[in-house]
Amino acid sequence: GEYIKTWRPRYFLLKSDGSFIGYKERPETSDQGLPPLNNFSVAECQLMKTERPRPNTFVIRCLQWTTVIERTFHVDSPEEREEWIEAIQAVANSLKSREPAPDALELKCGSPGAEDAEVAVGKSRAKADEVAHTVTESRVLQNTRHPFLTALKYAFQTSDRLCFVMEYANGGELFFHLSRERVFSEERARFYGAEIVSALEYLHSRDVVYRDIKLENLMLDKDGHIKITDFGLCKEGVTDGTTMKTFCGTPEYLAPEVLEDNDYGRAVDWWGLGVVMYEMLCGRLPFYNQDHERLFELILLEDIRFPRSLGPEARALLAGLLKKDPKQRWG
């Protein structure tokens, strides 16, 4: 949450130390003097294939400081995607085993003039915000206990890091399962939705508003039950009727009242639930545009549309959760 995605063509160099460096123009050699536009590490990364928002896409997820950073890449063919994934995985594996990896590998992401070669780059939080979010996450984790919230098992700190030992959710990410299956059945979506509602109602009963419901923050445990993760954007001390002002969250999941710069309350969580339920049932976001100004216009003004295959009960649920007016929104 609290980042804005932009889409740009990039050329990347993958180095044996795990550095993944992006340039606007094709670098002729690995040591040339062009300043990089992107620089992050693939050490301890996770790789996921997806066909959203377009075919031949893959996601790299890694931990930087206390924040999980995602980079989403689109390439021209399944074969090119496999080459990228194999090369990145080889470097990541070599770092785990401390064995030397191959010399720098040049990986092409698009080419000059190719309109469909894009890379989504998440803007990382400012360090001051990271610290504040980490403190909030620590408090929320220590003060909550619920079967559908990820539990904090232990916490410790080094001279420069705060470390959380979290409950192991080995069922994987809901994002991964949905990207593989495209849509869930209404029965399956109802099951996940009910567990998310239970967790959100518990947080609200503890005067906590979550503010960042999205697929990437929903894990599954070994039995297939929901585990909500990442509590850095939570707001504490929000009683029924209390409002907030901070503009935060993930663009595609922002509620209309947040975009209008109005004070907002707990209803933002029910809007977020509506968005993820829509994704589960329809296989896409209810409102989407690469241009965030246009995206925000759609969220504020566009009527929600449903696929013909969606049943009347599911339509009614989504329409109720995605009411523009928070006073009329279900929750």
List, by residue number, the catalytic residues. 212
For 18: left if phi > 0, alpha if psi spans -120 to 50, otherwise beta; the answer is left
Residue (of 16, 46, 185, 40) closest to 106 by Cα position: 16
Helix 267-282 crosses helix 186-205 at what angle (to 10 degrees)? Answer: 170
Q: Which residue has the tokens 């194999």?
A: 86
- First-residue to last-residue Cα distance in the chain: 22
Q: Supply 295's token pair.
A: 């995206």
Spatial distance between the Cα atoms of 174 and 78, rounded to a whole number of angstroms? 23
Name beta bridge partners: 157: 162
- The secondary structure of residue 304, as a DSSP letter, is P
Q: What are phi and psi of 276, to 5 degrees?
A: -70, -35
Helix 267-282 crosses helix 174-181 at what angle (to 10 degrees)? Answer: 30
DSSP one-letter string for 117-135: --EEEEPPPPHHHHHHHHH
